[in-house]
Structure 1
Amino acid sequence: MGIFKGSATLTRYDVGGRRAEGWADFIDERVRTFAFREIENSADEQSIGWVSAADFMDTGFAYAAYALDPYIVLGLRVDKRKLPAGVLKKYHRLELRKVKQMRDGQAISREERETLKEKVRLELLRRIPPSTQTYDVVWDTGRNRVWFGGSSRSALDLFEDFFRRCFNVELTPRVPYLAARALLVEPALIERLEQAAPWDLSGGEAA
């Protein structure tokens, strides 16, 4: 989902920690270490990594073009392939039949069945082209905030885990309550916010 192309659904986060000496070198090393890796010629079911926000095929990051101080602008690419259970079952049975014919009907052990099933699964996965999904990511390192171009729970879980592993920082979703709390300084207003109840939109009253 794109922040820079048309409409976008954004999820905001606060980032824990501060910029330390050598920050730019650290970011560059981590971005390149966690760059996207193709799975076209493998049996891997998923790959996730950084790409250029302008081109999801670009993982070279020439001249650290992602760095627009104080912003880090990247694309997060997720490739997945899924093997339907019915397809695996069909080809597993076909392979079992071939083995039985070669053995003149001799029984196949449970261990052999499982080994053959895994072999079939890997062969089929290599033949399935992965689907590609990309998300834009903007990190304001000055204010320690991140905008992620997605909102589904599965996408958020993937992003949060990947971002933490990549940069060794904590992400806190910037929900409306926390955003409002950060703006208030007067004790009376803070107390009112903490005592506020959810609004019942169906009845027009506080729940």
Structure 2
Amino acid sequence: MGILSNTVSIRQFRVVGDKPTANLPAWAGTRLADFGFRSIEDSAEELAIGWVEFDDPRESGFEAPHAFQRDHYFVFTLRRDQRRLPAALFKQHLQQEEADFLAAHPGFRRVPKQKREELKEMLRLRLLAKTLPAPSLWDVVWDTEKDLVTFASLSASIGDLLVEQFKKTFEGLRLAPIHPYARGMDVVEESLKAKLATANRASTAEAVELTEANRWLGCDFLLWLMHRTMTADSEYPVSRPGPAVPGERFISYLNDKVLLAGAGNPDGIQKVAVSGPQDHFSEVRAALLSGKEIHEAVLYLEKEENLWKLHLKGEPFH
């Protein structure tokens, strides 16, 4: 799913480390090219991972800054090509190979273990050579001024792949996931940071611990938004740096879909999904009164004639 699609899933990372102070685009282009994608179509290799250009996933040369630089943003794509053999097909071919071996060696009642492993490896390589690799693409946007990377995937395993590839490519830099607590510290007023630090439930400063221990933050944020949606005009001023003018008004509210969860019975977690446009949120109110928390919701953002929808998951906060 591309970053320019009408619907896109994104998560963000903070770039940690010191970037080169001189000619950053030239350095980045060289590093991207060094770790660029190399095709495996003409080989029997199973896997290939590397960077490709944002505008053309067939190109990985990054020969000029315009191939990836947009103002102070670097945009490029992580590509993974992978060959997969259907298990049923492989088993069928292996049975035929074993039958052929036994027919050629009537003294054997079964294929010896070592020979069977040899047949499996030979067959795997032969079938892989006939199988086209399936490409997967994930866009990356690196804000070099804010040291912020936006990645077009919510998958934990693909996120780990990005972190590993980024670290190998850009020596001295690494990616740290932006967890709910870090996001909170980044956006709250200075006067509230001490209170947020006091509310921090993590016992260490490790990202995993900060994420797991402070999952309540996203749920509380959704609860606050729901309260505002039910009781206020849902109008807010722009208060963060960006393309919008500070102080400009926009509207934000929850609607269409709300997922609540909580320990509702002895059998385990009970979930309540509320779908469709809501007038009074009666089902949501009832679920909240029974002790459930909002885990997911669709957040609407309106500014003049523009409308955006964000499906926000409370616990991971993306």
Shorter-chain TM-score tier: 0.7 to 0.9
Secondary structure of the residue aligned to 1:189 is helix
The Cα offsets for residues 128-174 of structure 1, whole Å up to 9 and x where unpaired, read as 21211111111111211101011122221221211122113221112
Aligned partners of 1:206 and 1:178: how far apart in 2? 25
Unaligned ranges ≥5, structure 2: 201-213, 224-259, 261-286, 294-318
Letter in 2 for 1:122: L
How many Å apart are 1:185 and its aligned residue? 6.0
Unaligned ranges ≥5, structure 1: none
Secondary structure of the residue aligned to 2:166 is helix
Task: Provide TM-score, normalisation by structure 1.
Answer: 0.87
Distance 1:97 1:71, change over 3 A: same
Identical residues among aligned pairs (%): 33
The Cα offsets for residues 55-83 of structure 1, whole Å up to 9 and x where unpaired, read as 21122324232123422110111112211
Q: After the TM superposition, which of the residue ranges 35-44 and 115-124 deviates more from structure 2?
A: 35-44
How many Å apart are 1:105 and its aligned residue? 4.3
2:82 is the counterpart of 1:84: no
What are the residue-to-residue correspondences of 1:124-143 with 2, within 5 Å?
124-143=127-146
Letter in 2 for 1:97: A
Task: Show the counterpart of 2:301.
Answer: none
Correspondence for 2:288 among 183, 196, 203 = 203
Moved over 4 A (4+): 204-207
Q: After the TM superposition, which of the residue ranges 36-45 and 23-32 deviates more from structure 2?
A: 23-32
Aligned partners of 1:170 and 1:52: how far apart in 2? 21
**Rg comparison, structure with higher value:** 2
Secondary structure of the residue aligned to 1:6 is coil
The Cα offsets for residues 174-198 of structure 1, whole Å up to 9 and x where unpaired, read as 2232122124463x51232231772
Q: After the TM superposition, which of the residue ranges 139-148 and 75-84 deviates more from structure 2?
A: 75-84
What are the residue-to-residue correspondences of 1:37-76 with 2, within 5 Å?
37-64=38-65, 65-76=67-78
Task: Show the counterpart of 1:26.
Answer: 27
More strand by share: 2
2:148 is the counterpart of 1:145: yes
Task: Show the counterpart of 2:9.
Answer: 9
Secondary structure of the residue aligned to 1:203 is helix
Aligned partners of 1:68 and 1:54: how far apart in 2? 12
The Cα offsets for residues 86-123 of structure 1, whole Å up to 9 and x where unpaired, read as 22221112111112222234354211111111000111
More helix by share: 1
Letter in 1 for 2:178: R
2:152 is the counterpart of 1:164: no
Aligned partners of 1:94 and 1:26: how far apart in 2? 53
Task: Provide TM-score, normalisation by structure 2.
Answer: 0.59
Aligned 8 A contact 1:19 1:141 in 2 = no
Letter in 1 for 2:38: R
Correspondence for 2:183 among 163, 179, 203 = 179
Secondary structure of the residue aligned to 2:101 is helix
